Amino acid sequence: MKKVIIVSFVLFGMIISSTGLLAKFSLNGQFKPRYEYRDGYRQLISDDLFPASFVSQRTRLNFDYSNSNLTSRISVQDVRVWGDEIHLKNVPRIAMHEAWVDVKLDTMISLKVGRQELVYDDHRILGNVDWAQEGRSHDAVVGKYESDDLKLHLGGAFNQSAQNLFGTTYPLSNYKGLGFLWFENKIDTNMRFTLLGITDAFQENDTNNYNYFRYTFGGNYYYTSQDLELQGTGYYQLGQTTLAQDIAAYMFSVQAHYKFNGFKVGAGIDYLSGNDSENPNSNEYTAFNTLYGTNHKFYGLMDHFLDIPAHTAGGGLVDIYAKIKYSFMPKWVAALDFHSFSLDKAIIDPNTAELTEKGLASEIDLVLTHTIASDIKLQLGYSYMIPADALKIVQGRPNGNNSQWIWAMLIVTPELFSSN
């Protein structure tokens, strides 16, 4: 850990010393220990299983530098479960979460290169999954044009597992290639819309380097006023799966929130298409995949639907939800969400060879947030899920019971040093 910090300081010192421009350098940290009591988180609990209980922790250091020509970041982190190391044993585990430079090419044009988070819109398709202690980042290059009302980003990535001498065979389960185009237009102070087109490629599981391409395109419309927030989202997906099935999938979301007297109440529906189980010989794949989004934010905090095609047996997902948030005391906020989950298409019960009912589960999520100081936050959470038969079939847990999850998290983000 000390070596990483020293090397990072040296790198920034070299940058600063090589330029006579007005520069800003800052060092900030993040400490995020989280206790969890898992009694059905991600998988239904049953009488023959015991709840899990543990503390995980993310410790992150961010080194930021900027001048009139560039901005850059080096972010290193350690992610661990308390007690997962033998005492007096040195286990190397520092990881590079971000390492990028954003070079200004013109007044409104820049180029961002390196390991970086790709976060667009509301995290639905491209997000950093910050709830996960590891977080998500990509090795990518992004060209950006940004004015007051228009933004256009063009990005891409090409993955390899080593500095090969021959061939481009990629053995890991990540995408081999990624490309995206994102556009935002601010219509006025209340309205804006965004468009996103993204393609990702996956290599066939052999050495012929054949790639299957998937294409996803769509966008969002936002209306925001002092009291009202409206959002509409729609995406369509095509291309091929790694089993050479033709993709024809879609999703849409409509939601509205209203604010009054410290309350924020809202409701909406997310609809993700699924496969037709009654036509198993079809070469068409119609289950929508949310790609690299932050599903924890949308489909229930208990994370039963992180990989929606897999976690619904390809049946798709319909999520009807209502939310309420209330600032009931200074520095205290309570948020209560209710989700009703069901399948878009019924799936076949392997035990009876008959179609299931579409109902999956109902879930309630309660989160209390206390802002102790500007850089210290405490969160407490409780979730409860009532599963229906379809979810028990999907998870292979015919005796799955009502499940619950309790967690407590401290988030501390101190600014350790700033040149200002």
Instruction: Quote the pLDDT of residue 207.
Output: 63
Instruction: Quote the pLDDT of residue 16.
Output: 52
- Report which residue type is found at 263: F
**For residues 151 and 144, what is the distance between their CA atoms, to the nearest angstrom?**
7
Q: What is the CATH number of the domain that holds 149?
A: 2.40.160.100
- Residue pLDDT, tens place only, 17-52: 454 457 899 999 999 999 999 999 999 999 999 999
- Asked if residue 1 has pLDDT above 70, the reply is no
Contact indicator for 1, 94 with CB cutoff of 8 Å: yes
pTM of structure: 0.91
Phi, psi dihedral angles at 30 (to 5 degrees): -145, 125
| Residue 8 binned pLDDT confidence (cut-offs 50, 70, 90) | low
- Residue pLDDT, tens place only, 291-318: 999 999 999 999 999 999 999 999 999 9
- Residue pLDDT, tens place only, 88-145: 888 888 999 999 999 999 999 999 999 999 999 999 999 999 999 999 999 999 999 9
Beta-carbon contacts of residue 142 (< 8 Å; ≥ 6 apart):
111, 112, 113, 116, 118, 153, 154, 155
Return the sign of the alpha-carbon dihedral for residues 96, 204, 113, 297: negative
- Residue pLDDT, tens place only, 259-285: 999 999 999 999 999 999 877 777 899
Going by C-alpha positions, the residue among 341, 274, 345, 337 that lies closest to residue 305 is 341
284-285 and 246-260 beta bridge pairing: parallel
Domain count of the chain? Answer: 1
**Residue-number span of the structural domain to which 300 is assigned:** 2-418
**For residues 292 and 284, what is the distance between their CA atoms, to the nearest angstrom?**
22
